[in-house]
Amino acid sequence: MPEEVRMPPTLKVSITSPANNSTFAVGDTVHFESTATALNGAKITSVTYKANGVEIGRVNKPSQCASSECWALDWQTRAASIKSNLYRT
């Protein structure tokens, strides 16, 4: 019997909010939205957001954002002022 080979899912992920190069001060609440699609039929069960490699939040089910399904998270900044492009990992 042939051995079954499992391939990792191929994902397409886009951060739609905040806008790139947005700036936030300490204590600001940042609203994240992203879209995530598994291109090979796999099911996405959660999306993890990171800042500088450190997890800042996890979303376990999609929300309805604007006109499509997205993964949304509100996060309060705790470090010195940051730019949103630091989140794009």
- pLDDT tens string 9-63: 688 888 889 988 888 888 899 999 998 888 877 788 899 998 878 888 999 988 8
pLDDT score of 86 = 44
**With 90 as the cut, is the pLDDT of residue 73 above it?**
yes
Q: Which of 9, 2, 5 is nearest to 36 (CA)?
A: 9
Hey, where are the domains in the chain?
Answer: 11-87
Q: Does domain 11-87 have CATH number 2.60.40?
A: yes
On whether the pTM is more than 0.75, the answer is no
> Which has the closest alpha carbon to 12: 30, 32, 38, 48?
38
